[in-house]
Amino acid sequence: MHIVAVQLEIAWENKLRNRQAVEQLLDQASVEPDSLIVLPEMFETGFSMDLSATAQSEQRESEQFVRDVARRHRSAVLAGVVSPAVEVEARVGKPAIKTASNEAVVVSPDGDILARYQKMQPFTLTGEDRHYPAGSKPCVFQWQGTSIAPFVCYDLRFPELFRAALDDGAEMFVVIACWPAVRSEHWVRLLQARAIENLALVVGVNRCGSEPNLQFDGRSSAFDHLGKCLFEADGSEQVLTTRLDVAAMRKWREKFPALRDRRSPQPV
């Protein structure tokens, strides 16, 4: 499994600029056919609560761009997008509001949607839950014979979500994020913990640069099933690549009993 992680310096709410940056970075990188290319959460806009800037139209032009990237590089692409906005009824006496989904979408080289995951844990500290409601379940897709579960940013703090994906057969987790520099040590250590506790391969792709009120230092990282670091980026815009040893992970799961030894807590 060849991974191509795009740590993007996202231009705030500028979809055209960010698409151009993705194309330039990948054109300069070595992308093997049948790789898995990974772009950050909300890669076109940054972590904005303004649906007029982030949401796709009904034509889903963001996903069309992802399809074009997948087709051009003959690889699968996992990217953070925002669904078209929908109007929802508000309480009596209040105007209707619009919401959308903060998603990770996965597209094959043929343009097929392999997975669509809605972030299960909106970041309430920023009011994300008021604009992007929570998804209800993880999902697992297949690429190059490997079962992969996508997650988005704040999901990383909730290990039970990863256990649920594990129970659905996940062998690898991919976490896309706009994770700020002030908590970046948490980002790296939690990625490593998810690998160790689930005997799983883990790839985390963060953004770098700045938004109006936040700084981002990247630190996109990958870990093998033993928690060994395969790469960790600095704070600059870059493309990182690695090859994940799926066979070694499976052998370790057969040998080491931690997953088989799991027991459910008894009710008090």
| The two structure tokens encoding residue 60 | 């889903």
Judge whether 41 counts as a catalytic residue: yes
Q: Check 41, 63, 103, 171 and give the catalytic one.
A: 41
Which residue in 139, 153, 178, 208 is the catalytic one? Answer: 153
Q: What is the pairing mode between strands 238-243 and 97-99?
A: unpaired
Of the residues 119, 139, 178, 208, which is catalytic?
119
Angle separating helix axes 61-73 and 15-28, nearest 10 degrees:
10
Decide if 139 is catalytic: no
Who's near 139: CB < 8 A, 6+ residues apart? 115, 116, 117, 149, 150, 165, 168
Kindly list the distances between the CA atom of residue 139 and the CA atoms of 200, 205, 251, 252, in Å, as whole numbers in the listed order.
Answer: 16, 18, 24, 23
DSSP string of 123-161, one letter each residue: -GGGTHHHHSPPPS----EEETTEEEEEEEGGGGG-HHH
Q: Which residues are catalytic?
A: 41, 119, 153
